[in-house]
Amino acid sequence: MRSRSKHVKLAEGLARQEQIAPAVEACYQALRVGEIDPLVYCLLAELMLSGDFYDEAIFAASRAIELDSGCSPAYLALGLAYDRRGGMWDQSILVWHELAEVAPELVTAHVQLGEAFAATAFEEEAIASWRRALELDPKEARAMYDLAIAALKREGMATALPGFRKAGELDPSQDALFFTLAGASGDGQPTPVLSEVAPERGSRLEAAYVLAHEEDLFSAAELVRLILDEDPDDAETLGLASYLYLKQEAVDEAMACALRALTLSTRTPTAVYCLGAAFAKRPGLSYHAARVFDALAKLVPSKPMPYVLLAESLLGLQRYRSAGESYRAAVNLDPACVRARFGLAAVLHTEGRHSEAEWEISRAAYHDTRRQKLFWVLYDDYAEGRA
């Protein structure tokens, strides 16, 4: 067992700050002074991967595994490098199998294994892997997206679309859109105590957003009620009320509040979003949902999620090409938007462009693991475990 040398720590620090070139140089410096350490190689693999140097990433990760077959971050980097390089699915399956062995509770390993199986047309094995991932974490959105794609391949879009929407609800980015539209991030703010919230509209609304963000829906609803008792024509508060009902699956109540809010002010983005989300839950209202999300996309053109929601409504209308354009707009705004990548993959499948679809899924996988900072989670666990 060994601790990290100063050379490794320097490379690691730079890599964490995404100073790619200096971090790579620091890794090579560590190797030059004889630090033949799996940590250096897996850092190098991660850095090469972020620069799209797949062969170099594969070499470095393989070297780390040669030095220590229990080096879990190296398996992650190696698997992602194989997937993104393409044409190496057999090796990919083996790597994700290994990672699932080394870290059996790691949900992503099962999701990735499923994606590698799917790419090699082992559909049954793929589905079993994604189901295993969902057993470990029922909120694993990517496994749900993958299952929706599998349903698309077998039974078409009508079966797949509810899966996409369900996955979308697990995906935190949709709720994040609501809070962004409200101008209330909710992150890092202390949980309000109802009795201590100042009895005026601004404080109540702010506290209600924080509570809603923390999914304390009933406390948030109490504050909403207090605001509406003083001003029932408060469109923004009605938008929040609509969101709270949506979160409780009360679609009609949500629709009623959103429609009322928009009667009062058509430019209430939170109400526009909630109305679209309520319409999207009714299969016959895809056209209405598309119209609303199109308006939302125009209202906030810099946000990717309205384009994703618009695209999903267009899928419901069988307007696959337009849906693809909308997904592409979302990906252009945020290349890390996993939901847009999977949606785009679905559209590409409907066009028979299966290899491009697989590429989009592998991009989604890469961004999803980065979003979770999975490499660093595994890296820290591994480094700590051997210290």
Partner 1 sequence: MGDDSAARLYQAFVSQDPAAAIAVIEGVRDSSSDKAKLFDSLFAPAMAMLGGAWAAGVIDEDTFTQASVVAEQVNSFVTPPATAHDTGITVLVGSMHRDVHSIDKNVIAAALREAGHRVIDLGVDVRPVDFFERAEETGARMVIVSAQMISTARAVSRIREVFEAQGRDDVIMLVSGGPFAADEGLARDVGANGVVRGAESALRLVERVARERFAGSER
Q: Does 36 bind partner 1 (CB under 8 A)?
A: no
Q: Of 144 and 157, which has the nearer Cβ to partner 1?
A: 157
Q: Of 251 and 333, which has the nearer Cβ to partner 1?
A: 251
Q: Of 256 and 299, which has the nearer Cβ to partner 1?
A: 256
Q: How far is the CB of 7 from partner 1 (least distance, A)?
A: 50
Q: How far is the CB of 270 from partner 1 (least distance, A)?
A: 14
For residue 85, give the 3-state DSSP assignment. Answer: helix
Q: Does 255 bind partner 1 (CB under 8 A)?
A: yes
Q: Does 262 bind partner 1 (CB under 8 A)?
A: yes
**Tokens 């700590």 belong to residue:** 384
Interface residue with partner 1 among 136, 228, 300, 336 (CB under 8 A) is 228
**Using CA atoms, how far apart are residues 75 and 67, in angstroms rounded to an integer?**
12
Q: Does 284 bind partner 1 (CB under 8 A)?
A: yes
Q: Does 250 bind partner 1 (CB under 8 A)?
A: yes
Q: Does 282 bind partner 1 (CB under 8 A)?
A: yes
Q: Does 253 bind partner 1 (CB under 8 A)?
A: yes
171: its two tokens = 């995906």
Q: Of 39 and 220, which has the nearer Cβ to partner 1?
A: 220
Q: Does 124 bind partner 1 (CB under 8 A)?
A: no
Q: Does 287 bind partner 1 (CB under 8 A)?
A: yes
CB 56 within 8 A of CB 48: yes
**Using CA atoms, how far apart are residues 340 and 245, in angstroms rounded to an integer?**
26
Q: Does 352 bind partner 1 (CB under 8 A)?
A: yes
Q: Does 280 bind partner 1 (CB under 8 A)?
A: no
**Using CA atoms, how far apart are residues 214 and 265, in angstroms rounded to an integer?**
27
**Using CA atoms, how far apart are residues 162 and 117, in angstroms rounded to an integer?**
23
For residue 325, give the 3-state DSSP assignment. Answer: helix
Q: Does 194 bind partner 1 (CB under 8 A)?
A: no
Cα 153 to chain centroid distance, Å, stands at: 22
Q: Of 52 and 155, which has the nearer Cβ to partner 1?
A: 155
Q: Count Cβ neighbours within 10 Å for each residue of 71-88 and write b for 16 or more, e otherwise.
A: bbbbbbbbbbbbbbbeeb
Q: Which stretch binds partner 1 (CB under 8 A): 36-44, 55-63, 181-189, 257-265?
A: 257-265
Q: Of 164 and 366, which has the nearer Cβ to partner 1?
A: 164
- φ and ψ of 353, to 5 deg: -100, 70
| Count of residues that interact with partner 1, criterion CB under 8 A | 44
Q: Of 47 and 227, which has the nearer Cβ to partner 1?
A: 227
Q: Of 282 and 370, which has the nearer Cβ to partner 1?
A: 282
Interface residue with partner 1 among 260, 281, 328, 370 (CB under 8 A) is 260
**Using CA atoms, how far apart are residues 84 and 107, in angstroms rounded to an integer?**
20
Interface residue with partner 1 among 4, 9, 281, 319 (CB under 8 A) is 319
Q: Count Cβ neighbours within 10 Å for each residue of 349-382 and write b for 16 or more, e otherwise.
A: bbeeeeeebbbbbbbbbbbbbbeeebbebbbeeb
Q: Does 257 bind partner 1 (CB under 8 A)?
A: yes
How many Cβ atoms sit within 10 Å of the Cβ of residue 137? 15
CA distances, 156 to each of 164, 170, 364 (Å): 12, 22, 21
238: its two tokens = 């009605």
Q: Does 298 bind partner 1 (CB under 8 A)?
A: no
Q: Does 349 bind partner 1 (CB under 8 A)?
A: yes
One-letter amino acid at 159 equals T
Give one DSSP letter per residue of 48-67, joined into a string.
HHHTT-HHHHHHHHHHHHHH
| Stretch 151-190: interaction string toward partner 1, x if CB under 8 A | -xxxxxxxx-------------------------------
Q: Does 241 bind partner 1 (CB under 8 A)?
A: yes
Q: Does 240 bind partner 1 (CB under 8 A)?
A: no
Q: Which residues bind partner 1 (CB under 8 A)?
A: 152-159, 228-229, 232-234, 238, 241, 250-253, 255-263, 282-285, 287-288, 318-321, 349-354
